[in-house]
């Protein structure tokens, strides 16, 4: 999608989850240690995109020494259910990481989870294609009644 010149904001109903996940390459020359960890995420994303009923809404990724994936989920229950599902791609990858790498220090992994309630988020996109929460849910033009960040916050109640 191309950049949209108008001011837009994300519009989503109800509670949702922002999940940040990534890894840090601590020993760049140990490709044998960090490459399998990096390869696990595309398998999970393919699975999640094929099954929207699991609750994954959208994600954005940045890759470097420290990778970052920003994910949006419909609910914390759905995120936790996916993380614990023995038939899904995540749990085997998590077990493999712990068994193969454990705490050898070659690669680190991290995540942060935030539950966002209605009225407790705000967004604005100008000269941007649909992105982030605006791609996970809907991105709508900012109307006159939602011209400021505070007005947009109030509109999400």
Delineate the domains of the chain, giving CATH numbers in brackets: 1-152 (3.30.70.100)
Alpha carbon distance 95, 150 (integer Å): 44
- The pTM (predicted TM-score) of the whole model is 0.89
What pLDDT does residue 98 have?
81
The upper half-sphere exposure of residue 109, i.e. CA atoms within 13 Å in the direction of its Cβ, equals: 19
Residue 18: predicted pLDDT: 98
pLDDT for residue 151: 73
- How many CB atoms are closer than 10 A to CB 85? 13
Write down the pLDDT at residue 149: 78
Tokens for 45, please give them: 């994303």
What is the Rg, in whole angstroms, of the alpha carbon atoms belonging to the chain?
18
User: Would you write out the chain's pLDDT as a tens digit for each of its 157 residues?
Assistant: 789 888 898 999 999 999 999 999 999 999 998 999 899 999 999 999 999 999 999 999 999 999 999 999 999 999 999 999 999 999 988 888 888 877 789 999 999 999 999 989 999 999 999 999 999 999 988 875 556 777 767 665 5
């Amino acid at each position: 999608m191309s950049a949209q010149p108008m001011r837009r904001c994300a519009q989503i109903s109800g509670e949702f989850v922002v999940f940040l996940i990534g890894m840090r390459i601590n020993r760049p020359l140990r490709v044998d240690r960090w490459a399998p960890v990096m390869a696990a995420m595309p398998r999970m994303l393919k699975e999640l995109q094929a099954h929207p009923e699991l609750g994954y809404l959208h994600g954005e990724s940045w890759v470097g020494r420290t990778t970052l994936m920003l994910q949006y989920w419909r609910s914390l229950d759905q995120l936790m259910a996916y993380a614990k599902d023995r038939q899904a791609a995540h749990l085997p990858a998590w077990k493999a990481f712990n068994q193969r790498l454990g705490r050898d220090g070659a690669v680190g992994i991290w995540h942060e989870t935030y539950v966002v309630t209605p009225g407790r988020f705000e967004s604005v996109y100008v000269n941007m294609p649909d992105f982030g929460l605006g791609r996970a849910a809907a991105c709508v033009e900012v109307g006159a009644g939602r011209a400021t960040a505070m007005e947009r916050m109030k509109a999400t109640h």
